A and B are shown apart, each in its own frame.
Chain A
Amino acid sequence: MRRTRLSPASLGPRDVLHVGSAGLRTRPMRVVLSALGIAIGIATMIAVVGISASSKAQLLQKLDALGTNMLVASPGQGLFGEQVKLPKESPGMVGRIDGVRQVGATGDLSQSVRRSEKIPEEETGGITLKAADEGLLRTLRGSMASGTWLNAANGRYPSVVLGHVSAQRLGITRSGQQVYIGGRYFTVVGILDPLPLAPEIERSALVGWPAATEALGFDGHPTSIYERSTDASVQAVRDLIPHTVDPENPRNVQVTDPSSALQAKAATEGAFTNLLLGLGGVALLVGGVGVANTMIISVLERRHEIGLRRSMGATRGQIRLQFVTESLLLSGLGGLAGIVLGSAATYVFAASGGIPWVVPLWAVGGGFGATLVIGTIAGLYPAVRAARLSPTLALQAA
């Protein structure tokens, strides 16, 4: 008698796919319903990540436009807590630092800005009065909503430029109107556009340096020096400013980077989405349980098929592989549908908000990877059960 070597033939990838999808093809409705759970979970996660990434992309775009090369020097606190003053010449000195392109300065004034003298002095509306030099607008990359910026001509006369918030608060809509400052009326010559990098200017009324000195008793000491340098020299400039402004007490000079606040906002964008992401994870988990449930039912229903396959020579491993493949296909389909749904939801959100559409590749890859992991886990137990099924029991007549 001839004896052949007994080693089970392995299934090719196409056969594995064929056998693994056999159960799905005969029950399409069940496939749709059990893949739906996974799809909803993945869609939630993709949408949450996509929407926060889109918002972040928009912030970064804005930041790009505003530039991250602006620094603000302001007086710190002295050794004994007293308010120190920056030297009058400091804007000019900062302007001479290597790499600095533009310099602008403001000096705080104490007078209130009111619509007319009939309004009580205490009602400042949160508007601060500042003296501003000509270079400020260019340094801030600001623009005028109406009227003109302070210049050598109007800077000498009682004229004022309003930030857009202070204009709103005062009810000034166009240049030419008047506001009451320090006992006399100033003519509004211009209103600024919003300045995301300098919200304190948005809430200010700005008068020219000479007018402030003559009419409002400004002592000429700047309280904020804005400078913009080349991108490469930002760090060097930052280190040099205190020594340049106040060589004797460099520690009295505080240098801040207004764009860092926006950067921090961009970085934390999405922090609040952790909760939503967690919800998506729960949905995904529930979807995985649904897949496991479907698979267990599938194994119970298909006992005869399992017995038949075993009688035809399928090894336990091949039965396991069949059901894990089925589970993977089931959850993989759900995952793909979820990625499409989540990306579409992000697109709708981005399109309606006019922000860029960003779906991070890591989220897509991670989401799909998660479905495969869940599919494997959900399929493993039913598959092991199927493989352990005794072929004789499985074949018992129905």
Chain B
Amino acid sequence: MNATTDLTPGTPGPTTAADPTDPTDPAADPTDPTDPVVELAGVTKAYPGGVAALRGVDLRVARAELLAIVGPSGSGKSTLLHIVGTLDRPTAGAVTLAGHDIATLSDRRLSALRAQHIGFVFQSFHLVPGISARDNVAEGLLYSGLPRAERRRRAADALDRVGLADRMSHRPHELSGGQKQRVAIARAVVGEPDLLLADEPTGALDSASGAAVMELLHDLNKEGATIAVITHDSEIAAQLPRQVRIRDGQVVADVRAAAKR
């Protein structure tokens, strides 16, 4: 994989390099299985009272993969999202993200890990009201340590990339649902995370906007982003090259559509 990190539209490059100055990544198969972004081994999450949301989940997500984590509500997929996103820790098992064993990391370091390696997209967008789309996207870099001018510059690039170059100064209430979700996606990818976690990204959208958002995720994946879409919708999951089915806290199926490799 090359180390190009420029977000300039028209020169699609991988979005996975967290450190623009690091040139050491060897060129490789974009989904090299020996270079997992996330690796879960025997992950169990039990809540006080004996409810187990996850029971021994093993999951490997390779770089530049696009996968769906699909399951009905109550299946544990949200818990899985939280654990993969390092927002929560498993009660047993190991989680390795971008080479870091998260069990050994303090809350501070986990925060830094999220800032550098993970981007989130939520069903309800969670945009900050009253500030422009560009500033919303720039918020995604607030905890990265980049200077403000650079954050704003990259935010403009990211908005351009999601097709909203003409909506830079619009505020969230002036945008449609699909546009809001694209702003949220721009915010998630502006930091060029190793892993993009999208939690029901089309859940609050009509089918046309939803399809546009899914198309955007496909495009980002083609540019090299590793994306996990968490959904209960099998139809959406079926569009993706890999589907991990969750039921009752366990992986019941892991299907790859070989053609997409």
Q: Using a CB–CB distance below 8 Å, which chain A residues touch chain B?
A: 1-4, 6-12, 14-15, 19, 22, 25-26, 304-305, 307-318, 390-392, 395, 397-398
B142 within 8 A of A: yes
Which of B19, B114, B126 touches A2 (beta carbons < 8 Å)? B19
Do most interface residues of chain B lie in helix, strand or loop, or is the interface mixed? Answer: loop
**Given A19-B142, A25-B130, also A7-B112 (CB < 8 A):** yes
Which of A10, A25, A308, A392 touches B126 (beta carbons < 8 Å)? A308
* A391 and B139 contact, CB distance less than 8 A: no
- The smallest beta-carbon distance between B247 and chain A, in angstroms, is 21
**Given A7-B112, A8-B111, also A2-B22 (CB < 8 A):** yes
Q: Using a CB–CB distance below 8 Å, which chain B residues touch chain A?
A: 18-19, 22, 24-25, 35-36, 82, 85, 87-88, 98-100, 105, 107-109, 111-116, 118, 120, 122-124, 126, 128-131, 139-140, 142-148, 187
* B112 and A305 contact, CB distance less than 8 A: no
A160 to B21, CA, bound (A): 103
Closest residue of A by beta carbon distance from B130: A26
**Given A9-B115, A11-B142, A315-B111, also A2-B25 (CB < 8 A):** yes
Interchain residue pairs with CB less than 8 A apart (17): A1-B36, A4-B98, A8-B108, A8-B111, A11-B142, A14-B148, A26-B130, A304-B126, A311-B87, A311-B120, A312-B120, A315-B107, A315-B112, A316-B111, A318-B143, A392-B87, A395-B126
Known pairs A4-B98, A7-B112; list 17 more (Cβ under 8 Å): A1-B35, A2-B99, A4-B19, A7-B108, A9-B115, A9-B143, A307-B126, A309-B143, A311-B118, A312-B120, A312-B143, A313-B111, A313-B144, A314-B115, A318-B111, A390-B88, A392-B88
* A391 and B100 contact, CB distance less than 8 A: no
* B105 and A6 contact, CB distance less than 8 A: yes
Which of A2, A304, A392, A397 touches B24 (beta carbons < 8 Å)? A2
**Given A311-B87, A313-B111, also A15-B124 (CB < 8 A):** no
- The smallest beta-carbon distance between A13 and chain B, in angstroms, is 11
Which of A3, A10, A308, A390 touches B145 (beta carbons < 8 Å)? A10
- The smallest beta-carbon distance between B108 and chain A, in angstroms, is 5
A316 to B110, CA, bound (A): 11
A317 to B107, CA, bound (A): 10
Closest residue of A by beta carbon distance from B79: A392
* A3 and B98 contact, CB distance less than 8 A: yes
A12 to B131, CA, bound (A): 20
* A4 and B87 contact, CB distance less than 8 A: no
Closest residue of B by beta carbon distance from A314: B143
Which of A1, A305, A313, A317 touches B115 (beta carbons < 8 Å)? A313
A10 to B115, CA, bound (A): 12
- The smallest beta-carbon distance between A325 and chain B, in angstroms, is 14
A307 to B120, CA, bound (A): 11
Residues of B within 8 A of A11 (CB): 142-143
**Given A3-B99, A391-B87, A395-B87, also A8-B143 (CB < 8 A):** yes
Residues of B within 8 A of A310 (CB): 87, 111, 114
**Given A9-B145, A392-B88, also A3-B100 (CB < 8 A):** yes
